[in-house]
Amino acid sequence: MKFPRNTQLLKSPFEIAPFAAVFFLFAMFLFLVVLMPTPGIPLELPAAGNLPGPAQPTVAVAVDAAGRLYFANQMVTESQLRSRFAGALKQSGPALTLVIEADQSVTYQQLVQLTMLANKVGIHHALLAALPRPEDTGRP
C-alpha cells in the first residue's frame, strides 16, 4: 500500500523566518553598540585657525571642565603629574614641549599653574591644543 505524500521537504526555496531572526539580532547588536559609552575624556577644545604644530617631542596633559588633570588617559594629582613630567623629561631629553589640552571653561589661572608646574620640573615650552576651524582650508 502506497501512502500519499502531503508534505514537501521544502515549501519554498527561500524561507524568510531564519533571515528575519538574524536581522533582528543584528539590529539589537547595533542598538547596544550605539548605547555603549566611548572611552576618553570629554573635552571641548577651542577652535583656532592655521596653527603650527610642535617641532620637538611632546608630552600631553588634559584638563577637563572640573579642573581635573589627566596624563596618559589617567586622572592624576599635581604631585603625581610632577613625577610623570620628570620621567618623561628623562626619556626624551631637555627639548620637551608640554601640550595642554584644556576644556574651554578652564580658567587662565589653572593654565598658568600647570605651566609653572612643568617649568619647575624642567619643561620650558608649553602649547595649548586647539581644534581647526571648519572654514580653514589650510592655506596661509
**pLDDT tens-digit readout, 44-99:** 777 777 777 777 888 999 999 899 999 988 999 999 999 999 999 898 877 889 99
**How high is the pLDDT of residue 5?**
64
The parent domain of residue 125 ranges over 47-132
User: What CATH number should be reported for the domain holding residue 107?
Assistant: 3.30.420.270
Confidence of residue 7 (pLDDT cuts 50, 70, 90): low
Residue 8: predicted pLDDT: 59
In a domain, 114, yes or no: yes
Predicted confidence at residue 12, as pLDDT, reads: 61
Q: How confident is the model over 106-139, as pLDDT tens digits? A: 999 999 999 999 999 999 889 888 887 776 555 5
Number of domains present in the structure of the chain? 1
Domain-embedded: residue 138: no
* Per-residue confidence (pLDDT) for residue 84, from 0 to 100: 93
Pull the grid cell for residue 112. Answer: 598658568
In a domain, residue 38? The reply is no
Helices and strands in the chain: count of H runs, count of E runs: 3, 7
Residue 119, in any domain of the structure? yes
* Residue bearing cell 576644556: 103
pLDDT of residue 60: 92
DSSP 63-106: E-TT--EEETTEEE-HHHHHHHHHHHHHHH-S--EEEEEE-TT-
Q: What is the pLDDT of residues 12-37, one digit of tens each?
A: 666 788 888 999 999 999 999 888 88
Q: Does a structural domain hold residue 69?
A: yes
CB 130 within 8 A of CB 46: yes
* SS percent in the chain: helix, strand, coil, step 5: 35, 20, 45
Specify the DSSP class assigned to residue 51. Answer: P
Q: Which residue has the cell 585657525?
A: 49
Helix, coil or strand: residue 21: helix
User: Residue 3: its pLDDT value, please?
Assistant: 65
| Domain assignment of residue 35, yes or no | no
Place of cell 576651524: 133
- If you write DSSP's letter for every residue of 59-75 in order, what string do you get? EEEEE-TT--EEETTEE
Query: Given this model, what pLDDT does residue 25 score?
Result: 94
